[in-house]
């Protein structure tokens, strides 16, 4: 008996959908790209529940005929290429003819569409690949497609969706990738009846300002310089941040031929161009657009992949470095570097940001090494913690430390040196303090016991929509740890108080660091983002490398470090202590 048979289309489509449509964001990408391919001047995106229940895209593009409206949902049905060679001269975002077939396999779709030359339009309704309705209707020119109940027939996939906040952020990120290359098209993005983005048609710069800054002030894009390089191989244009305006939080975007791309190798080129110009762990923001002959890049990319292969990457790498350097060179003449003013804007009535804050409620005897009564959780410190480390030799796990008497030194403003029974212990002073503070912050987050330090002048932090969404998620924990912040306008928060341990640090960079870390590490559960909050705060509050320490301070930090469960590594894996044992030392002589 023969056993092979062809799968019905509905099943084949569902399998394909697994690849193309992984989450609401991938669905949105496909729909908006279709609108742009259809020549739309205006695209409206309407979302409910982060796309779980509704994703609607309305465009004023070319629309479809009655016949095409039906065909569009078949697999490998496309108007964009006809033969294989067309693949090498793509001018459209889509070409695989897979998206609509995949979308309609795992959702309920209702679409109305009309071409300018037709008097009536077509309404078509498809549930899980089955056409349940097709009729003539009256509707405006263009296409209005409503995708409801994503994965309604694939419960397993539904379960894999993340929290609404994360899915919404993914939607916005995907949306940014597209709107940044189509500045001449106007877009709106509405979520649960709230307009999150309203982007009028304009120039690239205006679009960047509209997404990341405040179009009225142009405060965001004024921190950028233009880059512009034309060679036979490639044309590069765009904007790179002035070194003095760089922050720890960066927006880094590459586009090629009207498409967003990730390109770690080219990223290196940009970083190289900035080398020596930025403080440690600062990242340059940039928006760089490449134009290149279509045959010089690999177009047959996977629909969900954003990496793009170039034929001549090394040469472009060099051109890119030169191009960025040239743009930056124009600015090294006027170095008014003040690394503390970024990300803040002026608010009326009071000076902010770079003005050092008056010490209002700060305890004059404040010492970052001590709590009020000079002890940290005395009830929880193991009674005989030294004994915990007495057993087998040679790893820093098993040390006997005479911390309250013997010698202790600081070396190079960076390390604390401490003789132990097993050898000489090197302790990274900054990381040690980070570890101690981290444990403290985690504890305070768990018990909502953060101590707040009121600011005399509130600081204002301007954010992009995806960051606003993220901060809303973090808000209860930020309050718990001692931030007094509230939303001031649709794109900003005002900060009135900070965790007491931050002492005289400026609040905005600290919050930016938290946001950047949560975003980068894709922290999606409360325990994950609490870890990022605690770690970012600890990094900011800890004594820096380069600070001279007194003997008491060194002993205090070592004692508190040794009380931790893991005093050897930070949560992100960085090494805190290293032991040089007698053998190693003796070998040197």
- What are the residues binding ligand ADP (CB under 6 A)? 30, 34-35, 37-38, 59, 61-64, 72, 77-80, 94-101, 143
Residue numbers 256-295 binding Mg ion by CB under 5 A: none
Nearer Cβ to Mg ion, position 94 or 396? 94
Report the 10 Å Cβ neighbour count for 362. Answer: 14
Smallest distance, ligand ADP to C-beta of residue 92, A: 7
Q: Are 244 and 338 in contact (CB under 8 A)?
A: yes
Examine residue 94 and tell whether it contacts Mg ion (CB under 5 A). yes
Q: Which of 32, 99, 416, 515 binds Mg ion (CB under 5 A)?
A: 99
* Beta-strand pair 286-292/252-256: parallel
Q: What is d(CA 519, CA 507) in angstroms, rounded to the nearest whole number?
A: 18
Smallest distance, Mg ion to C-beta of residue 150, A: 17
Smallest distance, Mg ion to C-beta of residue 254, A: 22
Nearer Cβ to ligand ADP, position 79 or 134? 79
Three-state DSSP state, 308: coil
Smallest distance, ligand ADP to C-beta of residue 101, A: 6
Residue with tokens 């991938």: 26
134 beta partners: 124
Residue nearest to Mg ion (CB): 94
Please tell me the number of Cα atoms within 13 Å of 256 on its side-chain side.
Answer: 21
Report the 10 Å Cβ neighbour count for 18. Answer: 14
Residue 209 interacts with, from Mg ion, ligand ADP, none (CB under 5-8 Å by kind): none
Residue 97 interacts with, from Mg ion, ligand ADP, none (CB under 5-8 Å by kind): ligand ADP
Instruction: Specify the stretch interacting with Mg ion by CB under 5 A; choose among 32-40, 317-325, 399-407, 488-496.
Output: 32-40
Residue numbers 40-79 binding Mg ion by CB under 5 A: none
**Sign of dihedral through CA atoms 16, 20, 22, 27?**
negative
Examine residue 34 and tell whether it contacts Mg ion (CB under 5 A). yes
Smallest distance, ligand ADP to C-beta of residue 297, A: 18
Q: Are 48 and 29 in contact (CB under 8 A)?
A: no
Size of the site for Mg ion (CB under 5 A): 3
Q: Are 224 and 242 in contact (CB under 8 A)?
A: yes
DSSP code per residue over 207-266: HHHHHHS-TTTTTTGGGEEEEEEE-SSEEEEEEEE-GGG-BSS--EEEEETTEEEB-HHH
Nearer Cβ to ligand ADP, position 139 or 488? 139
Report the 10 Å Cβ neighbour count for 219. Answer: 15
Nearer Cβ to Mg ion, position 259 or 263? 259
Nearer Cβ to ligand ADP, position 89 or 337? 89
Smallest distance, Mg ion to C-beta of residue 92, A: 8
Residue 532 interacts with, from Mg ion, ligand ADP, none (CB under 5-8 Å by kind): none
Nearer Cβ to Mg ion, position 79 or 271? 79
Q: Six-digit token pair at 275? A: 């080398």
Smallest distance, ligand ADP to C-beta of residue 521, A: 33
User: 12: which residues sit within 8 A by CB, 6+ positions away?
Assistant: 75
Examine residue 450 and tell whether it contacts Mg ion (CB under 5 A). no
Residue 64 interacts with, from Mg ion, ligand ADP, none (CB under 5-8 Å by kind): ligand ADP
144 beta partners: 58, 112
Nearer Cβ to ligand ADP, position 34 or 536? 34
Nearer Cβ to Mg ion, position 34 or 143? 34
Mark out the alpha helices in 276-428 (DSSP H runs): 313-329, 385-388
What is Dmax (Cα atoms) for the chain? 94
Residue 61 interacts with, from Mg ion, ligand ADP, none (CB under 5-8 Å by kind): ligand ADP
Nearer Cβ to Mg ion, position 63 or 94? 94
Three-state DSSP state, 329: helix
Smallest distance, Mg ion to C-beta of residue 15, A: 18
Binding positions for Mg ion, rule: CB under 5 A: 34, 94, 99
């Amino acid at each position: 008996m023969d056993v092979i048979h062809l799968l019905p289309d509905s099943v084949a489509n569902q399998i394909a959908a697994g690849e193309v449509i992984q989450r609401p964001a991938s669905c949105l990408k496909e729909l908006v790209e279709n609108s742009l391919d259809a020549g739309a001047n205006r695209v409206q995106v309407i979302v409910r529940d982060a796309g779980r229940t509704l994703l609607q895209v309305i465009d004023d593009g070319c629309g479809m005929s009655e016949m095409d409206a039906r065909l569009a949902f078949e697999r490998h049905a496309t108007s964009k290429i006809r033969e294989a060679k067309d693949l090498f001269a793509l001018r459209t975002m889509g070409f695989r003819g897979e998206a609509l077939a995949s979308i309609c396999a795992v959702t309920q779709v209702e679409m109305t569409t009309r071409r300018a030359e037709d008097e009536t339009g077509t309404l078509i309704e498809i549930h899980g690949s089955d056409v349940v309705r097709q009729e003539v209707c009256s509707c405006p020119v263009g296409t209005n497609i409503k995708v409801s109940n994503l994965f309604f027939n694939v419960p397993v996939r539904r379960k894999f969706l993340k929290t609404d906040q994360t899915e919404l952020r993914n939607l916005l990120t995907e949306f940014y990738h597209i709107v940044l290359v189509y500045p001449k098209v106007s877009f709106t993005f509405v979520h649960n009846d709230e307009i999150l983005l309203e982007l009028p048609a304009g120039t690239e710069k205006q679009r960047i300002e509209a997404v990341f800054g405040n179009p009225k002030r142009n405060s965001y894009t004024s921190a950028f310089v233009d880059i512009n390089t034309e060679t036979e191989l490639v044309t590069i244009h765009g904007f790179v941040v002035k070194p003095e305006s760089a922050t720890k939080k960066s927006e880094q975007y590459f586009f090629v031929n009207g498409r967003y791309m990730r390109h770690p190798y080219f990223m290196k080129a940009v970083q190289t161009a900035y080398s020596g110009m930025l403080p440690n762990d600062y990242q340059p923001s940039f928006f760089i657009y490449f134009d290149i002959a279509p045959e010089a890049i690999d177009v047959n990319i996977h629909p969900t992949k954003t990496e793009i292969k170039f034929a001549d990457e090394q040469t472009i790498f060099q051109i890119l470095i030169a191009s960025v350097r040239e743009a930056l060179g124009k600015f090294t003449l006027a170095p008014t570097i003040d690394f503390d003013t970024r990300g803040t804007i002026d608010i009326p009535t009071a000076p902010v940001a770079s003005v050092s804050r008056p010490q209002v409620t700060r305890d004059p005897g404040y010492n970052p090494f001590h709590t009020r009564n000079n002890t940290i959780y005395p009830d929880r410190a193991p009674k005989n913690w030294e004994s915990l480390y007495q057993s087998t030799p040679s790893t820093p796990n098993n040390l006997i430390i005479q911390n309250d008497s013997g010698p202790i030194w600081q070396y190079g403003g960076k390390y604390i040196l401490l003789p132990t029974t097993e050898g000489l212990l090197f302790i990274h002073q900054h990381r040690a303090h980070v570890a101690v503070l981290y444990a403290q912050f985690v504890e305070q987050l768990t018990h909502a016991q953060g101590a707040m330090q009121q600011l005399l002048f509130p600081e204002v932090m301007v954010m992009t929509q995806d960051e606003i969404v993220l901060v809303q998620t973090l808000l209860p924990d930020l309050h718990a740890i001692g931030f007094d912040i509230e939303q001031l306008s649709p794109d900003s928060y005002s900060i009135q108080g900070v965790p007491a341990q931050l002492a005289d640090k400026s609040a905005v960079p600290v919050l930016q660091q938290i946001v950047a870390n949560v975003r980068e590490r894709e922290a999606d559960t409360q325990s994950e983002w609490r870890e990022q909050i605690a770690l970012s705060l600890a990094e900011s509050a800890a004594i820096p490398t380069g600070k001279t320490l007194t003997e008491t301070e060194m002993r205090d930090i070592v004692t508190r470090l040794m009380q931790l469960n893991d005093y050897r590594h930070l949560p992100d894996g960085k090494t805190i202590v290293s032991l040089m044992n007698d053998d190693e030392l003796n070998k040197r002589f």
